[in-house]
Structure 1
Amino acid sequence: MTYATVMVSLALGQPNEARLQVAGELAERFDAGIVGVAAAQFAPPLYFTDGAEAQGLIDRGEASVKRRLAGLEAQFRAATRNRGGHVDWRCAMDFPARFVAAQARCADIIVSGGQSTVLSDAFAFASPKDLVMQAGRPILVVPDNVNWLDLRSVLVAWKDTAEARRAVADALPMLRKARDVTVVEIPEDDHDHSAVMADITDVAAWLARHGVTATARVCEAVWNQSAAEQLEIVAGDVGAGLVVAGAYGHSRFSELILGGVTEYLVTQSARCVLLSH
């Protein structure tokens, strides 16, 4: 398995430099094509108007969105000018998450920016939390402060779920290029430590058969720390530049309301994160 086509999702009103840099690096590492994609809709104002005035307002708003999308295309083409390989650009006047998810059929992986803890603008930004649920492709979330794809140390956040299994399989091309890989699980309170170690040792053995040498590690649960906080500590300990995790092993609703590992990784992590669902 490899990445033959890398897609990068750009957004209006957000920094795009980090995701463009990482998407370009990813395409170069795997000799892959790169597809830039963006969409936006004109968000009508909340006040009421009608007739010619309303139509004029809509026309001006849509023209502004088209100009801004053209600006994103220019930024994408400038960033990929010397990357080599096939380069393509796709954009539309559409809801971003819907459009990007539809275009994902031509890609192996989607590079996206992170998301703030406040609500995002669904008219201008394809949330990685929506993309991971809708696109059917792994999502590489790149925080704005990241300027390169650091694969020297990769942390696999393991939980014995279908989502985690899919994430590890989706990450194999990057794991093969990593210098150090650590598979870690933070067990629930009622889980037996030896049983958890047996599980992640299985994962490490599976990775070995795919040419990836990995270290298995079990972290004891700490009563006053969330799983996300403990995962961040481990990531710092191993110097991880990339975290691989299954997205929404619990219900998405509970993570949105109560918080969880996926919510933390998308909104607060300072590292690149590969998510699959």
Structure 2
Amino acid sequence: MIYATVMVSLALDQPNEARLQVAGELAERFEASIVGVAAAQFAPPLYFADRAEAQGLIDQEQASIRKRLADLEALRAATRARGGHAQWRSAMDFPTRFVLAQLRCADIVVSGEHSPAFSDAFSLASPKDLVMQAGRPLLIVPDGVHWLDLRSVLIAWKDTPEARRAVADALPMLKATDITIVEIPEHSDGGQAAMARVTDVAAWLRRHRRCDRALPGSRGERNSRAQLKKIADDVGAGLIVAGAYGHSRFRELIFGGVTQYLATQSARCVLLSR
């Protein structure tokens, strides 16, 4: 398996350099095509105006969006030298809806991280929304990342279809890589069973000629997110691979969760699949 087409989702009024750099690296590594996508929709104002004034405002804002989309295409042109064929797709549309509609042509989509301080459905395709509906692996690239560091990869294992899909989706990136597989037991007596599961995953990776080491994680006072962060720091992971698990919006706002953490942490790239 390889990535034959890499899609990169760009955002208006947000940093895009990191995700473009990583998308270009993937395209170069796999001799893949690149598809750049971006969309934005006019956000109606929260006040009323007479008909002529309102129409003038709409025309002005739509013209501004078109210009900013054109500016993104110029930025995307920097990736042309990194891979093979390059395409650009943009529209006046809700970003998440537009990106999801284009994903039929891609093997993987590269996105920026989710910013808790900025969430605008009119101008930004949220990685959390993308991964829940994409049917493709999502590679989240924090703004501070300058390259895709695959020297050490951490697989955050959970015995679910989402985790199995994520590891399979990540296989092209796992050649000649130091791989750590960890499962955080959900119960204090679950360490032995967790070790058996991650040992199975390690054996599967060895049959695919990937390097690995397996550990069950620990269960103590630290929560799963803190434990995962500590292990990633300890092994120097440049990439975390994990399944994406959705909860109700209310529960997510109150309790967060590992998927929420992975979509918002800013230290390393994350590959999520669902």
CA distance in 2, matches of 1:268, 1:117: 10
Aligned: 1:276 with 2:273:
yes
Match of residue 153 from structure 1: 152
How far residue 179 of structure 1 moved from its aligned partner, in angstroms, is 2.2
Q: Displacement, 1:52? A: 1.3
Contact preservation (8 Å) 1:227, 1:261: yes
The separation in 1 between residues aligned to 2:217 and 2:31, in whole angstroms, is 37
**CA offsets, 1:5-49, max 9 Å, x none?**
000000001000000000000110111100100000011110111
What do the CA deviations read for 1:162-193 (whole angstroms, capped 9, x no partner)? 111110011010012x4200100111124421
2:256 is aligned to 259
Q: Distance in 2 between matches of 1:118 and 1:243?
A: 23
Q: Is the 8 A contact 1:197 1:218 kept in 2?
A: yes
Moved more, 183-192 or 228-237: 183-192
Matched, 1:241 2:241: no
Per-residue deviation, residues 103-134 of structure 1 (Å, max 9, x unmatched):
01000000000011235011000000000011
The aligned counterpart of 1:91 is 90
TM superposition score normalised by structure 1:
0.96
How far 1:102 sits from its partner (Å)?
Answer: 0.7
Distance in 2, Cα, partners of 1:119 & 1:63? 23
Indicate conservation of the 8 Å contact 2:185/2:216, yes or no: yes
* 1:37 corresponds to: 37
Aligned residue for 2:223? 226
Look up the equivalent residue of 1:213 and give its one-letter code.
Answer: C
**Distance in 2 separating the partners of 1:196 and 1:252:** 27
- Cα offsets for 1:194-237 (capped at 9, x unmatched): 111111111111111112121111111122x2211110100011
2:97 corresponds to 1:101: no
Letter of the aligned partner of 1:255 in structure 2?
E
| 8 Å contact from structure 1 (residues 256, 263) kept in 2 | no
1:208 aligns to what SS in structure 2? helix
TM superposition shift of 1:81: 3.2
Does the 8 Å contact 1:255/1:262 carry over to 2? no
Q: Structure 2 vs 1, CA of residues 221 and 151 (structure 1 numbering), >3 Å: closer, same or farther?
A: same
Aligned 8 A contact 1:116 1:268 in 2: no
| Alpha-carbon RMSD | 1.2
Measure how far apart 1:252 and its partner are. Answer: 4.7
> What do the CA deviations read for 1:30-81 (whole angstroms, capped 9, x no partner)?
111001000000111101113111111111110000000000000001x213
Q: Percent of counterpart pairs with the same letter?
A: 70
Give distance in 2, aligned partners of 1:34 and 1:183.
Answer: 30
For 1:88, what is the secondary structure of its paired residue? strand
Give the distance between the partners of 2:162 and 2:239, measured in 1 at CA.
17
Q: How does 1:158-177 map to 2 (within 5 A)?
A: 158-176=157-175
CA distance, structure 2, for counterparts of residue 164 and residue 218 of structure 1: 15
1:52 maps to which residue?
Answer: 52
User: Which whole-Å CA distance do the structure 2 matches of 1:163 and 1:273 have between them?
Assistant: 14
Which consecutive unaligned segments of at least 5 residues does structure 1 have?
A: none
Q: Distance in 1 between matches of 2:80 and 2:86?
A: 9
Runs (4+) of structure 1 moved beyond 4 Å? none
Question: What are the within-5 Å matches in structure 2 for residues 184-195 of structure 1?
Answer: 184-195=182-193
Whether contact under 8 Å (1:109, 1:137) holds in the other structure is yes
